[in-house]
Structure 1
Amino acid sequence: MNVVYASNDNYARHLAVSLYSLLEHNREISDVQIYILSMGLSPETRARLERAAATFGRSLTVIELGDLRERFSYEVDTGGFDLSIMARLFIGEVLPPDTDRVLYLDCDTVVLASLKRLWETELDSSILGAVMEPTIYPSIKEEIGLLPEEPYFNSGVLLIDMKRWRTEDAGKMLLDFYCSRGGKLFAGDQDTINGALKGKIKPLPPRYNFFTNYRYYRYDHLTRLSPVYGKISKKSFQEAKRRPVILHFMGDERPWKEGNLNHYRKAYETYLSRTPWAGTPKENGSRLYMAAYHLMDYATFLCPPVRDFVSRRFGMQVINSRKNVQRETDQKEKA
């Protein structure tokens, strides 16, 4: 099983949590190859990650990508997201040419069970498999050329047929699409994958990429937001809630933020305590905001339209705030 992560030093401890959980639950798989696409990981960080892998008798390969901006022939704007999110677009260029299939995982995931069945999933004629994200804004789908009735997928977990990726030159398709949108999209890599590979993505069961805030959504509400989500059975969605295989900490209620009340935070904290980053203090944040966010989670279950209203009303404000913070960080780095 070939597993790929992408990270810089800022996300390394989250990567370690995901890596540790992955290896603990997949001991029975004899051959696990770990590739880390690095954007300037320090020697100390690399050594820490290697120690985490060595706990299970595994090794990992770090592939340094350097400054990702230099890999684009045009200016890019990730809208406040860290540029490392774009690393997965170059996966076909940097992995060994004999790699037939890979499982890409975001750093903010935690594995809770064996991935053997996911790894063996048939992709048929699709380039990759991913889990649908029915709560995406309709305007985002429209911007990347998706019709309301077409599915939109989350890019946090990708099962990729690397043979087909290379044969169909998916890397070029992705870069050309992103260029056609001016190198700027709401969710850079994710929007690019959805727009460029439309019709070439196979839906995976939600338990393989369960968004933690979806614990509070009702199945019928998700199918109202995106009728195509009906292709995922209610039983499959409920199974994902009860027994997720891969947790994905989406939204602002992240377990590494001070004051968070994420229902699944113990999973993250448990594995963090077993990594070389054990004892890392939580990031400073607003406890009041965390409490308000958690209340919104319950409002989502009790009265779904409330979440829809809040998302439409304040969603872009959060995005713009994130962009301003990233802009300030970039300026400090240049100074």
Structure 2
Amino acid sequence: MTQMVVPIDILVTLNQHYLKPVSVMLVSLFEHNPQQRFRIWLIHEAIPKPDLQQLQALIAHYQQEFTAIKVDGEQWRQAPTEGRYPIEMYFRLLCGELLPQSLSRVLYLDPDILVLNSVLPLWQLDLETSTFAAATHTGMTNLVTDLNKLRLGTDHAYFNSGVMLIDLARARQLVHFADIQQVLETKSDYLLLPDQDLLNYLYGREIKEIPEEIWNYDARKYAVYFTRSLGKNDLHWIIGQTVFLHFCGQPKPWDERHDNRFTALYGNYQRLTERLLARLA
């Protein structure tokens, strides 16, 4: 008898400008988790239907499920946004309300990520009493964390919101738009990375820390990880152990100006995705 594989629910929240990067991310996810079933949930405000159909065709090619949820973003109009921080980034904070009540947990992923290994260990992580699991990006010292503690008035680590395992049952009890709105109204001047700052300011104590080298590897900081691990975390280690390679900051790996030791790796998945989309058109 064939054992039934329980699906992993993946959440992305974005606009049409990030459809190409999220396609690359999903191709890398499917390619490195070939026996796993996924349900992809996209929360958006105004992605054109033809673009959604193209993404759906790509996901269907891998025999995976896809659901798009359109949200009225009017309530976020006063929220701090910039060109690279669109309004859709806030949708992940309220995903407990926006996703079906039948879902008990979801794994949120930024579109500027490559998936290199199995995501199952994170999906199966025991969150214990925590609502979220996420990683910090500490560098060689805790200077950035200490500065963020001072800026936000917090007493815990500063977590990156690009990869988050979310207990949706707990999130539905904890996360409320009224609390988010109050922070936006009173502390907007202090929000440098708006949704990430909100996550840390309001819910930082509800986050279980996971190793960044495995679950949220900052692609800009190879030298830091290599040095901090005394030479253990070299490229061979990354290919074998790192699950989420996160292209934080600017420029992005799909930009011509991007040039580091992981640019070619990203380009390989980008070309693969482009060939697939051309065949499916």
TM-score of the alignment, normalized to the shorter chain, above 0.5: yes
Q: 2:108 — aligned with what?
A: 104
For 2:29 and 2:186, the matched residues in 1 are separated by 37
Answering whether residue 161 of structure 2 is matched by residue 155 of structure 1, we say yes
Moved segments of 4+, more than 6 Å: 277-280
- Preserved contact between residue 26 and residue 114 of structure 1 (Cα < 8 Å): yes
Residue 259 of structure 1: CA displacement? 3.6
- CA distance change for structure 1 residues 212 and 143 in 2, over 3 Å: closer, same or farther? same
TM-score (norm 2): 0.83
CA distance in 2, matches of 1:83, 1:184: 18
Inter-CA distance 113–204: structure 2 relative to 1 (3 Å threshold): same
Which one of the candidate residues 219, 242, 245 is aligned to 2:243?
Answer: 245
- Name the counterpart of 1:225: none
Instruction: Write the distance in 2 (CA, Å) between the matches of 1:279 and 1:188.
Output: 33
Q: Equivalences for 1:238-277 in 2 at 5 Å? A: 238=233, 241=238, 243-276=241-274
Aligned to 1:283: none
Pair 1:185 & 2:188 matched = no
Q: Does 1:89 align with 2:93?
A: yes
**CA positional deviation for 1:120:** 0.4
Which residue of structure 2 aligns with residue 22 of structure 1?
Answer: 29
Closer, same or farther in 2 for the Cα pair 1:119/1:175, shift >3 Å? farther
Q: Which residue of structure 1 aligns with residue 170 of structure 2?
A: 164
In 2, Cα distance between the equivalents of 1:265 and 1:23? 20
Amino acid corresponding to residue 266 of structure 2 in structure 1: Y
Q: Could you tell me how far apart the structure 2 residues matched to 1:116 and 1:279 are?
A: 27
Matching residue of 1:228? none
Any conservation in 2 of the 1:109–1:249 contact (CA below 8 Å)?
Answer: yes
* Cα gap change, 1:164 to 1:250, in 2 (>3 Å): same
Question: For 1:177, what is the secondary structure of its paired residue?
Answer: helix
Where does 1:210-249 land on structure 2 (aligned, <5 Å)? 210-218=217-225, 234=229, 238=233, 241=238, 243-249=241-247
- Contact persistence 2:145–2:158 (CA under 8 A): no
2-side partners of 1:91 and 1:258: how far apart? 33
Q: Are the structure 2 counterparts of residues 23 and 139 from structure 1 closer, same or farther at C-alpha, using a change threshold of 3 Å?
A: same
Conserved in 1, the CA contact under 8 Å of 2:160 and 2:196? yes
Pairwise CA distance, 1:254: 2.2
Q: Is the 8 A contact 1:75 1:183 kept in 2?
A: no
Partner SS state of residue 154, structure 2: coil
CA distance in 1, matches of 2:275, 2:90: 25
Quote how far apart the aligned CAs of 1:117 are. Answer: 0.6
Q: Tell me what 1:130 maps to.
A: 134
Q: Secondary structure at the match of 2:221?
A: helix
Q: When the two structures are aligned, how many residues end up with a matched partner? A: 262
Other-structure match for 2:121: 117
8 Å contact 2:96–2:169 — kept in the other structure?
Answer: no
Q: Which amino acid aligns with 1:238?
A: N
Could you tell me how far 1:216 is from its partner in structure 2?
A: 1.9
Distance in 1 (CA, whole Å) between partners of 2:43 and 2:189 is 21
What's the CA shift string for 1:11-53, capped at 9, x where partnerless? Answer: 1100100111112222222x31110012311122111111110
Aligned to 2:4: none
- The one-letter code matched in structure 2 to 1:168 is L
- Deviation track 1:266-322 (CA, whole Å, cap 9, x = no partner) reads 232222223257799xxxxxxxxxxxxxxxxxxxxxxxxxxxxxxxxxxxxxxxxxx
User: Could you list the runs of 5+ residues in structure 1 that have no partner in the other structure?
Assistant: 222-233, 281-335
RMSD (CA atoms)? 2.7
8 A contact 2:93–2:175 mirrored in 1: no
Letter in 1 for 2:12: Y
Amino acid at match of 1:152: Y
| Counterpart contact for 1:52–1:276, Cα < 8 Å | no
Distance 2:275 2:91 in 1: 24
| TM-score, with length taken from structure 1 | 0.71
Residue in structure 2 matched with residue 298 of structure 1 by the alignment: none
Separation (CA, whole Å) in 2 of partners of 1:268 and 1:257: 11
Which one-letter code corresponds to 2:68 in the other structure? V
- SS for the counterpart of 2:197 is helix
Q: CA deviation at 1:118?
A: 0.9
SS at match of 2:149: helix
Structure 1 residue matching 2:108: 3-state secondary structure: strand
CA contact 2:32–2:116 (8 Å) conserved in 1: yes
Query: Partner of 1:196 in structure 2?
Result: 202
CA deviation map 1:116-159 (0-9, x unaligned): 11100111111100011225374433222224xx3110000000
Query: Unaligned regions of 5+ residues in structure 2, if any?
Result: 1-7
Q: 1:140 aligns with which of 148, 160, 163?
A: 148
In structure 1, distance between residues paired with 2:274 and 2:179: 39
Q: Deviations over 1:240-277 (max 9, x none)?
A: 74632111101224211114212112232222223257
Output the CA distance in 1 between the equivalents of 2:185 and 2:96.
18
